[in-house]
Amino acid sequence: MTISGFIKDRIIGTVIRVVALAIVIIFLAAFKVAGQAILAVAIVCVLACAAFEMWEYNRRKRFYDRLKKSLAELDRKYLITEMLENPGFMDGDMLVETLAECDKSMAENVAEYRRQNREFREYIELWVHEAKLPLASMRLMCHQSPEIENKMAVQLGRIDDYIENVLYYARSENAERDYVIKETSLKKTFGSVAVKNREALQMIGAGLETNGLEISVLTDGKWLEFIIGQLMANSIKYRSEERPLAINVYAEESDKQATLRFRDNGIGIPATDLPYVFEKSFTGANGRKDSKSTGMGLYIVKNLCERLGHGITIASGPGEYTEVTLTFSKNDFYNPQ
């Protein structure tokens, strides 16, 4: 709050006071009051008004300066009402009361939104678990009919993957409530993913090559399995028709971090699409060719990696390869017995 702004705001009241003082002086002069008395009255009135305006300016300035400072220091601006003290003047009190009412209304709306969001996620999780039951029954039926087992198993696997995507997306916004960080074997996790995708890999004649997966990393095994599963699903979906799919997975370890590289020889990603592949619902040139692409897989993977504290980058040569790199930090304070 500046003094020039304060004076500008009070200019009308000041003009009225000056006019009133001039009228008083004219009346005093008309009644033949001594000039010295008139001068004394004028000085007293001017000093009284000036003292009042200075006091008013100081108390308002203190309040608004505190308000601006508190607002600048707060990360969550909506908590400003918790930082305000009683200003002691009417328009300040009205401002504080208004902010408090707005904050209360916002808190009620946020609480309602969270309740609806929680109920939606609970419904999605329930639906996913219910949908998996007929899938399990169909898998059993496939095993009883060898002539359709492979083709049907692949399609059921795809349905299962889409259902998993729904579940993990619903949970990803609050993933911190659903994971446990501990030492996880990369070899065991990748083996589980490979087994789940066995039928699809066999049907297209894909080759798997691994190296250095004997190391363990600090992560949540369930979430990491989903992440690697999404990378493998993308490799299968965007394979090249000109050559058999080859997937190379290898890990490296240093003093500060472990790195897992997932590389395939598929159709690759155009350079113009590469910066956007982790964005929500982005399908790119490859996705527009494939009507089954949703653009959600890598978005969910990126979201989970951020919440788990893992780094993720992607590199590609169009028509040659795609390589995704996962980085796992090491924690010196974690020392399993």
pTM check: above 0.85 = no
Give just the sign of the alpha carbon dihedral 190, 191, 195, 198: positive
**Comparing 229 with 1, which gets the higher pLDDT?**
229
For 161-174, the pLDDT digits (tens) are: 777 777 776 666 65
Topology adopted by domain 179-329: Heat Shock Protein 90 (3.30.565)
For 207-222, the pLDDT digits (tens) are: 999 999 999 999 988 8
Neighbouring-strand partners of residue 207: 246
Q: How many CB atoms lie within 10 A of CB 260?
A: 28
Contacts of 106 (CB under 8 A, 6+ apart): 78
Sorting pLDDT into bands at 50, 70 and 90, what band is 98? confident
Listed in order, the ranges of the chain carrying CATH 3.30.565.10 are 179-329
Q: What pLDDT does residue 250 have? A: 93
Contacts of 158 (CB under 8 A, 6+ apart): 200
Sorting pLDDT into bands at 50, 70 and 90, what band is 335? very low
